[in-house]
Amino acid sequence: MKRKEDENASKNTITDSRKMRTPDVKYVSAYFNTVGGNNVVVIPKRKSNEIEMIDTHNDMKSLNSLPSELRSDAYRRKADNNTWKPPKSLFRFEPLLQEYYVYDPWRVLVVSVLLNRTTGVQVRRVLSNLFYLCPNAKSCIEVEVGKIEQVIRTLGLQNNLAKALQRLSHEYLYGSWTHVTQLHCVGKYVGDAYAIFCTGEWRNVTPTDEVLLSYWNFLSRIM
């Protein structure tokens, strides 16, 4: 009888613990300063010897290795004195995702890389948690790659994509790049988005992506 009571008590404990669980756990980088809430898990900074460093000088694309189209001055790195602020679009529906992050070129790159892999609907669902976990390029490099995978798992190929974002961020911070197209995962689409939303070189690019072209046409009408 005692054993039966113990088994029932154990089952009740398991049931109660399941009821207490909450699925709304958010993983937050230690670099994010305004952490709060009961369901927030702060991811500590990793020590430098725990980070898989990338030799940007050997692995980053050289300018001469790029197709001539991607060596255009339109893709040059944003200068410190560049004050370009793209106007808000007047589209019937929601603005382009890049429009929400024009204050941070790194975020524009991340958003564009994700959009180049899947649909805007899917990307929109993960961005809030992704930038909560990785508010900047440095935190993206140092957070555990598995945490990034958890956040973007609905996009598919999350392991490769998480590593790609970390490599992009490492090259963005530490690489000696002159053109954004030298960075990992940055081709014409991502480069065009950078030129349009970050540097104001929109007149010197011709987007082939339909959605990006719609914003380009909008600029052409008002500028």
Active site residues: 209
Do the beta carbons of residue 177 and residue 191 sit within 8 Å? no
- Cα angle for residues 130, 122, 199 (degrees, 5° grid): 65
Which distant-in-sequence residues (6+ apart) come within 8 Å of 170 by Cβ?
53, 54, 56, 137, 141
DSSP H or E stretch at residue 147: helix 145-152
Q: Which residue in 85, 54, 60, 81 sits closest to 178, CA to CA?
A: 60
| Spatial distance between the Cα atoms of 209 and 189, rounded to a whole number of angstroms | 7
Instruction: Note the Cα 4 to chain centre separation in Å.
Output: 53
